[in-house]
Amino acid sequence: MSDRPLYAPQEPIFPRRVSGKFRNLKWVIMAVTLGIYYLTPWIRWDRGPNLPDQAVLVDMASRRFYFFWIEIWPHEFYFVAGLLIMAGLGLFLFTSALGRVWCGYTCPQTVWTDLFILVERWIEGDRNARVRLYRGKWDVRKWRLRLTKWFTWLLIAIATGGAWVFYFTDAPTLLVNLLNFTAHPAAYMTIAALTATTFVFGGFMREQVCIYMCPWPRIQAAMMDPDTITVAYREWRGEERGKKHENKSGDCIDCMACVNVCPMGIDIRDGQQMECITCALCIDACDDVMDKIGKPRGLIDYIALSDEPAERAGEPPAPLLKKILRPRTIIYTAIWSAIGLALLYALFVRSDIELTVSPVRNPTYVLQPDGAVRNIYDVRLRNKAGDDRVFHISLTSDEILRIELEGRGGQRNLVVPADTTILQRVYVTARPQDPASSTDTTALRLWVEDVDADIRASQSTTFNGRVQ
Amino acid sequence: MSERKIDDETGVETTGHSWDGIEELNNPLPRWWLWTLYACIVWAMCYTIAYPAWPMISGATQGMLGFSTRGQVAADIVDHEAKNEALVAELVAADLTTLPPSSDLHRYAVARGGSVFRAQCSQCHGSGAAGAVGYPNLLDNDWLWGGDIENISATITHGVRNDTDLDARYSEMPAYGDIFAEEEIEAVVEFVASLSSTEFDTDLAQVGSELFLDNCAACHGDEGLGDQMLGAPNLADAIWLYGGDRDTLAETVTNARFGVMPAWGQRLSDVDVRAVSVYVHALGGGE
Ligand code: SF4
Ligand code: SF4
């Protein structure tokens, strides 16, 4: 048996503060994404008296999804499916062009970890102070700093879990209910679960989530090729590394700045690594160093592996656009836009009223005492508008057919309440002398018309006659 | 493992597995990862003790918590019954003749009645209630005993021609094979056919008409329109319970028919009888 340990304790990482253009970009993206997440449920949107006035709302109880002016009904779930496919393809597109940019800039794990590290740095100081504190005894100061940090993390975690539930019901009402403990237990449980995961993942597990738990890093290698732009160390320029006075010729002065800032705890000079999330913090750190020692920036940079031979030979790399525009990215973009356009089209052609007609096939027809043949249809009428509407039901056919609504005593108008679906049985009859009564099938079309507005919808179906 | 292979590049021991010449390093796992694994194992063991898990020769182990999906369903049913208690009470007390079709109670009755129908009635009347030869179609508006809700309910409660219920619907047509001669039967059949068909033998029907008025009109009426009080079918419409061709009619006149339906009032609860009555009434032919 091996005498190696079965487990390895987590190596703590103390990323150093860094400033630079990529760090600034990350701050902006963090502010925007967190802002969107926390504030969206509070945007109001007036939809009329009977509908919720929350701009983005997943209304589980009445099975609706509201997104600003768009309202998705359960049978229109293909919109959500389409968006998910687009999100997936978008990830493929960005990964094949720019590597793990999703991981480095917008992944919630990265964003919240970044926020938690920011808090940590405010409370415990930068890298060296934190290392010292970590090694130090558990005295009063250490307890005070640790408790303050954990408490602040917890507040952020609660806010994070709390914001999530606001997407599912009216936010101001829920907030009041949450505070006086009358909200649904599901809300508290969701908040508790998300608080716990945010606290543990963002505060303690950090890069371990990316390395051991997330499946995405394992898949994305399949989407990258030598033309993909990722963070890399220009080895041919940096080596042989070492201090100038040691007579080393490379540009890298082995200052370890790039290693110290890395939130994943890796040394990019060892080459591309699975752990690297292409967050570019090492680029900012090294550029800073290069500025100080008067060397050109870009010892660590966003470059493609395919550029290496040219760069080694001292030639300029291929233009960025040429690397990004490859058959692969173009195909992803094409599919992505095709789905997007199809969804947009579907969004604009869908009507405010809808009907589905299902003929009752058991039995296909009913013979009446006077010899007439009757077919029954279950018509589902959907009024997607925010006010009650009067619908008129009619039919068109090449043959003579009579229409009657069950339980309406000859009336063919009916009221469908706002934002509801009703089921109406419709009888269609052919008298014995009408040809349809003895023809196998006759085509017909059922119409529903909004009496007050010029909107109508129809669906075709067939009438079954009695054939001897 | 006697021989330990060490990777030259990293100095780390390898597992000995190699793919395409790439050897797998035997790096230790993160501590939290291992502890998660152990916790899962402990959890799994507790789970199999607490819940039904291990397959045995007859059934699986019961588990300490006494959980069973069957029990859960039973609890769900009790739960639903408790939830529907108010509607059930309302349905038992309601006047079905005035129940508006758009009311919640009506919807409940139709849903409940539908499931009763599919369980108890569909064997004869078909799952779509279209009936069959000898079993009335409940979708049209031709009724032997009346199609208003009270008559439907009475038929369901007491059944037809069964000896278990004194209030059962009872219509009895004599077997005319004992009374009429064969030509007389032929003549009556021709007359009955003439009531609903355009092609018939006028002379024969004329003879049959007299026999009909003397023998059949008492129940079926002078014009053969039937009588729902007596359960006598309308002979002048297009609907035949057993068939309207000459041979079937002759068979019916000769031997009479004797369809039977159980008295459901003895088997179903009051609320189920009411629910299925509403359901049948709402099928399309209710009066
Ligand atoms: S190596 Fe550089 S780009 Fe990669 S994770 Fe570390 S800091 Fe970010
Ligand atoms: S920051 Fe730049 S100079 Fe310093 S060690 Fe890293 S690559 Fe070398």
Reported as a single tens digit per residue, the pLDDT across B23-75 is 888 888 888 899 999 999 999 999 999 999 899 998 888 889 989 899 999 99
Full DSSP string of B131-194: -BTTB--SSSS--SS--SHHHHHHHHHH-BS-TT-TTSB------GGGTS-HHHHHHHHHHHHH
Q: What is the pLDDT of residues A199-239, one digit of tens each?
A: 999 999 999 999 889 988 888 888 888 899 999 999 988 88
Residue B1: what pLDDT?
47
Check: complex ipTM more than 0.90: no
Distance A64 CA to ligand 2 centre (A): 54
| Cα B225 to Cα B144, B150, B190, B216, B233, distances in angstroms | 11, 21, 16, 11, 7
Residue A378 predicted with pLDDT over 50: yes
- Average pLDDT across chain B, whole number: 91
Q: Is residue B141 part of a domain?
A: yes
**Pair (B132, B213) in one structural domain:** no
**Nearest residue by C-alpha to atom 5 in ligand 1:** A276
| Cα B284 to Cα A403, B70, B100, B131, B138, distances in angstroms | 13, 38, 15, 14, 8
Q: Is residue B177 part of a domain?
A: no
Burial class (CB in 10 A: 0-12, 13-18, 19+), B105: middle
Full DSSP string of A277-315: ----HHHHHHHHHHHHHT--S-SEEEEEGGGHHHHHTTP
* Residue B118, min C-alpha distance to chain A (Å): 13
| Distance of alpha carbon A263 from alpha carbon A281, whole angstroms | 8
- Residues pairing with A392 in the sheet: A413, A449
Residue A317: what pLDDT?
80
- Average pLDDT across chain A, whole number: 90
Domain boundary at B39, B61, B83, which? B61
A interface mutation test: which of B5, B7, B26, B31 has the most A CBs within 10 A? B31
B interface mutation test: which of A10, A366, A464 has the most B CBs within 10 A? A366
| Distance of alpha carbon A76 from alpha carbon A347, whole angstroms | 10
**Pair (B83, B164) in one structural domain:** yes
Q: How many CB atoms sit inside 10 A of residue A388's CB?
A: 13
**Pair (B233, B277) in one structural domain:** no
Distance A276 CA to ligand 2 centre (A): 16
Most confident segment among A40-54, A112-126, B48-62: A112-126
pLDDT average, residue stretch A425-441: 92
* Residue A122, min C-alpha distance to chain B (Å): 27
Residue B278 predicted with pLDDT over 90: yes
pLDDT average, residue stretch A334-358: 90
The beta-carbon neighbor of A366 closest among B27, B32, B130 is B130
**Pair (B17, B125) in one structural domain:** no
pLDDT average, residue stretch B231-245: 91
pTM: 0.75
Residue B96 predicted with pLDDT over 50: yes
**Pair (B272, B155) in one structural domain:** yes
Taking an 8 Å cut-off on Cβ atoms, the answer to whether A362 and B126 are in contact is yes
Residue A2: what pLDDT?
52
Residue B205: what pLDDT?
92
Residue A371: what pLDDT?
87
A271 close to B (CB below 8 A): no
Q: How many CB atoms sit inside 10 A of residue A119's CB?
A: 19
**Pair (B163, B33) in one structural domain:** no
SS3 content of chain A, % helix, strand, coil (to 5): 45, 20, 35
Residue B185: what pLDDT?
94
Share of chain B above pLDDT 90, in %: 70
Q: Is B285 or B232 the better-scoring residue by pLDDT?
A: B232
A14: confidence class by pLDDT, cuts 50, 70, 90: very high
- Name the domain count of chain B: 3
pLDDT average, residue stretch A337-342: 95
**Pair (B206, B251) in one structural domain:** yes
Q: List chain A residues with CB under 8 Å of B126.
A: 362-363
Q: Which atom of ligand 2 is nearest to the CA of A293?
A: 3
Angle B202-215/B182-196 helices, nearest 10 degrees? 100
**Pair (B11, B76) in one structural domain:** no
Residue A3: what pLDDT?
64
Taking an 8 Å cut-off on Cβ atoms, the answer to whether B127 and A432 are in contact is no
List the CATH number of the domain containing B241. 1.10.760.10
Full DSSP string of A228-251: SEEEEE-HHHHPSPS-GGGT--SS
Residue A160 predicted with pLDDT over 60: yes
Residue A76: what pLDDT?
86
Residue A37 in tokens: 């997440």
Residue B282 in tokens: 């709402």
**Nearest residue by C-alpha to atom 2 in ligand 1:** A282
Angle A140-165/A171-179 helices, nearest 10 degrees? 130
A interface mutation test: which of B13, B140, B149 has the most A CBs within 10 A? B140
A256 lines ligand 2 (CB under 6 A): yes
**Pair (B92, B152) in one structural domain:** yes
Distance A242 CA to ligand 2 centre (A): 10
Q: Is residue B176 part of a domain?
A: no
Decide: A68 and A45 in contact? Cβ < 8 Å.
Answer: yes
CA B183 to chain centre: 44
Q: How many residues does chain A have?
A: 468
* Residue B78, min C-alpha distance to chain A (Å): 23
Which range of residues forms the domain containing residue B278?
71-168+261-285
Q: Is residue B126 part of a domain?
A: yes
Q: Is residue B79 part of a domain?
A: yes
- Domains of chain A with bracketed CATH: 21-223 (no CATH), 229-313 (no CATH), 353-464 (2.60.40.10)
Residue A157 predicted with pLDDT over 50: yes
Q: Is residue B265 part of a domain?
A: yes
Q: What is the pLDDT of residues A381-411, one digit of tens each?
A: 988 877 888 999 999 999 999 999 887 878 8
Q: What is the pLDDT of residues A58-111, one digit of tens each?
A: 988 888 899 888 888 888 888 889 999 999 999 999 999 999 999 999 999 999
Decide: A280 and A231 in contact? Cβ < 8 Å.
Answer: yes
Residue A1: what pLDDT?
45
Nearest partner of A207 among A124, A145, A132, A114, judged by Cα: A114
Q: Which atom of ligand 2 is nearest to the CA of A251?
A: 3
- Residues pairing with A426 in the sheet: A377, A405
pLDDT average, residue stretch B208-229: 93
**Pair (B249, B265) in one structural domain:** no
Residue B3: what pLDDT?
65
Decide: A413 and A390 in contact? Cβ < 8 Å.
Answer: yes
Scan for tokens 């329109």, then name that residue.
B225
**Pair (B150, B114) in one structural domain:** yes
Q: Is A249 or A120 the better-scoring residue by pLDDT?
A: A120
Q: Is residue B66 part of a domain?
A: no
- Listed in sequence order, the DSSP H helices in B4-68 are 31-50
| Distance of alpha carbon A296 from alpha carbon A287, whole angstroms | 8
Domain boundary at B16, B34, B61, which? B61
Residue B230 in tokens: 């007596």
**Pair (B138, B265) in one structural domain:** yes
**Nearest residue by C-alpha to atom 4 in ligand 2:** A255
Q: What is the pLDDT of residues B141-196, one digit of tens each?
A: 899 999 999 999 999 999 999 999 999 999 989 999 999 999 999 999 999 999 98
Give chain B's radius of gyration (CA, Å): 35
